[in-house]
Each structure stands twice: as C-alpha cells, then as structure tokens.
Amino acid sequence: MTTATHDHGHDHEHHGPAKGLTRWLYTTNHKDIGTMYLWFSFAMFLLGGTFAMVIRAELFQPGLQLVQPEFFNQMTTMHGLIMVFGAVMPAFVGLANWMLPMMVGAPDMALPRMNNLSFWILPFAFAMLTSTLFMEGGGPNFGWTFYAPLSTTYAPPSVTFFIFAVHIMGASSIMGAINIVATILNMRAPGMTLMKMPLFVWTWLITAYLLIAVMPVLAGVVTMMLMDIHFGTAFFNAAGGGSPVLFQHIFWFFGHPEVYIMILPAFGIVSAIIPAFARKQLFGYSSMVYATASIAFLSFIVWAHHMFTVGIPFLGEAFFMWATMLIAVPTGVKVFNWVTTMFRGSMTFETPMLFAICFVVLFTIGGFSGLMLAVAPADFQYHDTYFVVAHFHYVLVPGAVFSIMAAVYYWLPKWSGKMYNETMGKVHFWLSFVGVNILFFPQHFLGLAGMPRRIPDYALQFANFNMISSIGGFLFGASQLLFLYIVVHTIVAGKPAPAKPWDGAEGLEWTVDSPAPYHTFTTPPKID
C-alpha cells in the first residue's frame, strides 16, 4: 500500500513555488481538503473543550470563585457554538471529503474549487467569532441557541460579528452539502446503484439534503436579528408587534434537523466499523437506509418539542410529543441492526470497535433520556435543567464525538500509510469512556433534583454531584491530549500499515452483488 497522498490520480506534482503553504491554500484535492477539515475541527474541539473546562472549574464547588457570571455566560455560549459548528460538523465534512470519492469510485469531489472555498472561509469565521471575547462588552452571552430578545435587545455590541460568523459557517455548510450531493449522484462508479452504496455514503447523502434545507433557515433567523438590532424592525420585539416565540420557532426549525445532521454521519461510520470487526455483513442494509431517511423526515416535524413551556396549544403539544416519540422507532431499528450484526460474529476489539460499541450503548442511553424529554408534562419539570444538558451530551459526545474518533482510528492507516499504537489507542478509549460517564451521568441526577442549566452558582445540595461531574470533565479533557499525541505520533513515526490494516476484517469473500461491499480499503474502480 502506498501512502494515501499518492493514490490514483492524486499525485501532487509540485513544481517551483507550489510547495508548503500554497499547496494547502490552492489545493483542490479532496484528501488535502479532508485533512484540513479534520485538523481544523480538532483545533476547535480543543478550544471548545477549554471553554468547557472553565465551566466545570467554576462549578467544581458552590459559590462564585473563578470567573464573573457574565464571562461564565460567554463560556457556555462559545463552548456550544464552537463544538457544534466548529468541531463536530467540520469533522464529519472532513471525513466525507476523504472517504466519499473513494467509496463511490470517483476521482475527486464534483466541485473541487468550491470544496477549497468551503473550507477556507471557516478559519476566518471562527477567528471572528472568538475575537468577540476581546471586544467591548464581551462575546455572545446569550447561550448557543441565542434566544431573542436576549440576543437582540440586550445583547453586547459584538453580536453583529457573531451574526456575520454564523452566515459564513452556513455558507460553508451549504457549499459542502451541494458538493456531496453532486458527487454521490453524478460520480458513482458504473454498476454502483444507490442500494449498493456503503452506508456512510447513504447517511451523508441524506445529511447533505438536511443541510441544504435548514442552513438557509438559520441564515434567515440571524438576518432577522440583524434587522431588529440595526434597522428598526421588530420581528422578535413584542413592543413593536413581534414575538420572541417566533424566534424559537424559526431557530428550532433549523436547530432540530441540525442535531440530526450531527448524528446521521455517525450512524454511517458505525455501520462501517461494526461489520468490519464482527467479520459479518451488516444486518438489514436496506432497513438501515429507510430508517435513516425516516429519521431525516421526522426531524423536520418535531421542532416545537424544544418549546413545550412557551404556551403552545394543547393539540400542538400532543402532536409534537407523539412525532418525537416516533423517531425512537427507526432509531431502534438501527440499534437492533448493529447489535444483530455483532451477534455471533467473530469479533475483535481494536480501538475503532471499542468506540463503536461504546457509541451504540451510550447513544442509546441518550436516546432514552430524549424519550423522557419528549413527554410534554414531564418536560415541564425537566426543561432548562441539567437533565437536558445530560441528555444532549450523551447523544453528542459518545454519539458524534466518539464516532469521529472511531473513524480516525479506523481510517488513519489508510490516510497516512502508518499504523497507530494499539495500546495507546485503548488507553485513550478507556480514559475517555470512564471520563465521559463520570462527567455526564451525575448531571441526570442534578437535573431531576432541579438544578438549572447555564447558571454559575448553585445551592449546596448540588455540590457533590457537581464535584464528581467536574472531575470527570477534567479527566475526559486531559485524555484528548493523549489522542492528539497518538495521531501526531502515528503520522510522524508510526510503523508502516499493512495493505489490509484490519486483517480479516476484509477476509471474507464478499460476492460482487452483495449490498454495500467494503470499498473502504480496496482500490476504487478506474473511470475512463
């Protein structure tokens, strides 16, 4: 196996000055762009994690000790924004850039120059977003959901820069999604029908449609904010005939599909890894495709479950409650299929498989607490408590983040031609696994006992669980530095990877017409 940067048709012929920085600035190579997305998202992951460490340090004990309440609010806001838009989404786009062309047998992405642009506007967007922390009045302090009128009438002056940054991120996402749809629909190898595509390709095709549908909604709502702040409109100002609840409807019509954008590609990753290490074909391929599509469709009609407490009509509450519960059905199908794929398989437990199994178990826990939140009368009690924080972190950390880590361990030998240190990988997994549960499990109890989210101080009865949670947070945060070391060490000094890094993972003879053959480590078909 040659190193990945010299795959078919991708040799970088660099003559003269086209070396170093210009190679990365001008590149239209999907692998280079995927690499840049992944490194950028990792940098944002560490930055957003640093903000989370500030939050957990302040909450280590009751009372106000480390930071001012105002700065605490800026930390909760920036942590959420950077993790969602800067860490999770670009990481999935990076994985898509690297793997999709190879999985469908295409020489590159359909629109390579747009691909370059969609990446390079991101560092500027996040530089601008982070710079708000140094502006007069501080950075955004209104939570990552930026509810009006807190984000319009009472916001710091830096909110305008925040709005611009969100526009740029949205433009990046839309370009990336159009590129993915164009590549999958137009550039598949001859004979690869839609129902023969690997599931990672399917989940990304559906995710891309979600992005194209909802990113303009986000652009719309931040534009309305801009009008309210600078141009005298009153979209969200009750005094001028507007409504703060309108903001929530528009935001969550974007925001609910958004949370599925952050988990569907994870489903695709796990559906690639589990069959490889169980040495069995994925159970229920077509049901996985239909389940993914069902989840995507349902994600559009459940947005007001975030708004049970605003006073929507009783029938509205009933509808959104049942529609939300319905999402558990296709999700349950997926979990059943993953477990059945592992059942009686010849499983081995390399690092990617450990992360994938952990994904299935902990994501399911997050799903169960989501079902609890779907029950409208119960949600009146849970709303805006730490129970909600525990729920969405169980879905996003062991869900989205662990699946990204699984993907990195799984595909790093392919990308770099080097093998990571398996022992260190396992140490990283166990530290992360233990840390994430110590961090987020106690927050369920805090929330059920009534501790509100986004508050820098708390009553004495919450002290013990907060201390436990913070210790878990510091453990989880520190263990990601080990992850950084493992990845860098692999690229710089790793042992050469065998041609089939997961020996036996491809050992079975797949028939040509079996659904979703493993194109992951085979040479893509040449396209004349």
Q: Is 151 a catalytic residue?
A: no
Instruction: Give phi and psi for 452, each to the nearest 5.
Output: -75, 150
Catalytic hit among 30, 196, 280, 305? 305
Catalytic residue among 152, 331, 416, 432: 331
Q: Is 495 in the active site? A: no
Catalytic, 79? Answer: yes
Active-site hit among 56, 256, 383, 414: 256
Spot the catalytic one: 32, 58, 228, 258. 258
The answer to whether 167 is a known catalytic residue is no
User: How large is the greatest C-alpha to C-alpha distance in the chain, in angstroms?
Assistant: 70
11 belongs to the catalytic site: no
From the candidates 30, 188, 280, 334, give the one annotated as an active-site residue: 334
271, 364, 369, 469: which one is catalytic? Answer: 271
CA dihedral 292, 403, 505, 29 (to 10 degrees): 90
Among 24, 39, 144, 147, the active-site one is 144
In the residue annotation, 379 being an active-site residue is answered as no
282 burial class (0-12, 13-18, 19+ CB within 10 angstroms)? buried
Which of 172, 292, 341, 364 is catalytic? The answer is 172
Q: What angle do CA 131, 35, 416 make, to 5 degrees?
A: 140
The Cβ of residue 64 has, within 10 Å, a number of other Cβ atoms equal to 11
Task: Give me the catalytic one of 31, 56, 79, 280.
Answer: 79
**Cβ-count burial of 495 within 10 angstroms (0-12 exposed, 13-18 middle, 19+ buried)?**
exposed
Q: How many CB atoms lie within 10 A of CB 62?
A: 15
Closest CA to 67 of 76, 55, 77: 55
CA quadruple 331, 336, 337, 341: dihedral positive or negative? Answer: positive
258 as an active site residue: the answer is yes
User: Is residue 418 classed as helix, strand or coil in its secondary structure?
Assistant: strand
Please state, in angstroms and rounded to a whole number, the distance separating the CA atoms of residues 55 and 67.
Answer: 9
Euclidean distance between CA atoms 291 and 452, whole angstroms: 35
256 has catalytic annotation: yes
Active site residue 27: no
Catalytic residue among 58, 108, 379, 506: 108
- Our answer to whether residue 118 is catalytic in this structure is no
| 149: preceding bond cis by omega (within 30 degrees) | yes
Catalytic residue among 30, 306, 383, 418: 306
Decide: residue 239, CB within 10 A, 0-12 exposed, 13-18 middle, 19+ buried.
Answer: exposed
Question: Which residue out of 118, 152, 173, 385 is catalytically annotated?
Answer: 173
C-alpha 304/C-alpha 8 separation (Å) is 48
Based on the residue annotation, tell me whether 70 is a catalytic residue of this protein.
Answer: no
* Cα-only R_g, the chain: 23
Q: Give yes or no: 428 in active site.
A: no
Active-site residue (options: 23, 279, 453, 489): 453
CA dist., res. 173 & res. 185, Å (int): 18
d(CA 475, CA 377): 36
350 is catalytic: no
Tell me whether residue 10 is one of the annotated catalytic residues.
Answer: no
Rounded Cα distance, 89 and 263, in Å: 10
Work out the number of other CB atoms within 10 angstroms of the CB of residue 412.
24
Q: Which residues are catalytic?
A: 79, 108, 144, 172-173, 256, 258, 260, 271, 305-306, 331, 334, 453
